[in-house]
Chains A and B, each alone.
Chain A
Amino acid sequence: MKITRRHLIILLPAAAIAWKHVLAGSLEDAPNYTMTEHWWSMLIDIPKCIGCGNCVRACQAENEVPDGYFRTWVERYHVKDWDLADPEVISPDGGKEGFPEAKDDGDKYFFVPKLCNHCADSPCTQVCPVGATFVTPDGVVLVDQKYCLGCAYCVQACPYGCRYIHPEKKVADKCTLCYHRITKGLTTACCESCPTGARKLVDLKNPRDPIHEFLKTHPVQVLKPQMATGAKVFYSGLDGSVR
């Protein structure tokens, strides 16, 4: 059959619908979940963080993160007066067991919880030689541990230090934004256990998510915006000294 211009005009929309169906995909384990309807990220409200380490412990319990490795961790910044370029940063055991007491000496102290920024244009997925790490259609950066070679290119490429090589599996490991939870309608383990609401899972494609109102009314920042990674973890009240 010769394909005329008329045929093509009829075929193109049909092909587009078929392709969208392929892209949408639903997960076997979460049949009511459609990936293209979500765009996940997180909001971190720095002035609410008390450095209790609940998120770090919850993450390690939920995801069986080995001791000494972290998918999320908490840093304590100590900024003396004007020297923003040289803050004193501590994170004993990722802040898992809390922090030593900070004496009220008039300096600026605050906590910064960190995790994978689930960048929309992430450098870690771009360097993977085998296609073992990727951004899902719903905006989560994941590692296919059956495919990963453990070459650690991605560990080096992440500007935020959010990846590590799992000491037993010998493959790259990182925050999955609790993908096994959010696809079932639950929040992440860190958000579930945060006592002050300093961390909130957000779905940027959900028009009813309070994040939209928050982003319009609060000054927010992402980490290292100059890296143009499309980082999606939004920090409210972030100090200029945070690296």
Chain B
Amino acid sequence: MSVFKDAGHLFRFAGLFVAAFLVFLIIREYVVPKSFGQYGHYRGNAIAEIAAHPVKFAGHSACETCHSDVQEVKNVGKHAHVNCEACHGPQAKHAADPGSVTPPKPDTATLCVRCHAASAAKPKDFPQVAAADHSGGVPCETCHKPHSPAIADGGSK
């Protein structure tokens, strides 16, 4: 074949190219994670890894499993729709082991004003007080029971 006469250098180069390509394929096989491309151009297993992170907030239904008495008190008051962990903080550890992990009682001196301190930026129909004028330093829970705050309710908790 006269076409390939003096073409040895091209074949050698092509052979080199093919060998390099094979090396590339072998390295790629080892380096690219198995799940890459499972759902798209990313590592599919990353989704499951992120989904496996531990939970810190137990969720309202977990609280109600044991504390249905508190929920009954809350249900009659204005705080019926405020989830327990909104004030008590993340309690997944407590929910998993109620015996040894007991959450501290929130301090109403700092807790209540987080939501109820007066500000023109808050919705007009949201109950707000200028704390210093309103109670003169008397703790909120002296008059308002946090789980059912209206004074008329006389809530027990």
CB-defined contacts of B56 to chain A, threshold 8 Å = 61-62, 189
CB of B89, distance to nearest CB on chain A (Å): 7
CB of A163, distance to nearest CB on chain B (Å): 15
Contact B39 A180 (CB under 8 A): no
B105 interface residue (CB < 8 Å to A):
no
Contact B40 A134 (CB under 8 A): yes
Contact A180 B54 (CB under 8 A): yes
A193 in contact with B57 given A29-B51, A131-B41, A142-B46 (CB within 8 Å)? yes
CB of A135, distance to nearest CB on chain B (Å): 8
Contact A50 B123 (CB under 8 A): yes
CB-defined contacts of B28 to chain A, threshold 8 Å = none
Contact B89 A61 (CB under 8 A): yes
A165 to B118 CA separation, bound complex (whole angstroms): 36
Contact B86 A195 (CB under 8 A): yes
Contact B119 A101 (CB under 8 A): yes
A131 in contact with B43 given A27-B51, A105-B120 (CB within 8 Å)? yes
CB-defined contacts of A161 to chain B, threshold 8 Å = none
CB-defined contacts of B51 to chain A, threshold 8 Å = 27, 29-30, 33, 179-180, 183-184
A61 to B114 CA separation, bound complex (whole angstroms): 17
Task: Give how many A-B residue pairs fall within 8 Å (CB-CB).
Answer: 138
CB of B2, distance to nearest CB on chain A (Å): 37
Residue of A nearest to B35 (CB): A25
A193 in contact with B121 given A29-B51, A52-B114 (CB within 8 Å)? no
A105 to B121 CA separation, bound complex (whole angstroms): 11
A62 in contact with B57 given A51-B121, A144-B43, A144-B46 (CB within 8 Å)? yes
Q: At the interface, is chain B mostly helix, strand, loop or mixed?
A: loop
CB-defined contacts of A78 to chain B, threshold 8 Å = 121
Residue of B nearest to A97 (CB): B114
- Contact stretch, chosen from B7-15, B77-85, B148-156: B77-85
What is A's interface to B at a CB cutoff of 8 Å? 22-23, 25, 27-30, 33, 35, 47-54, 58, 61-63, 76, 78, 98-99, 101-105, 107, 109-111, 131-137, 142, 144, 146-147, 176, 179-181, 183-184, 186-187, 189, 192-197
17 A–B contacts from the bound complex (CB under 8 Å): A25-B44, A29-B48, A29-B51, A53-B114, A58-B90, A62-B90, A103-B120, A104-B120, A107-B120, A111-B121, A131-B42, A132-B42, A136-B39, A147-B43, A193-B86, A195-B82, A196-B126
* Ranked 8 nearest A-B pairs via Cβ: A109-B121, A144-B46, A180-B53, A134-B42, A104-B120, A102-B120, A102-B121, A29-B52
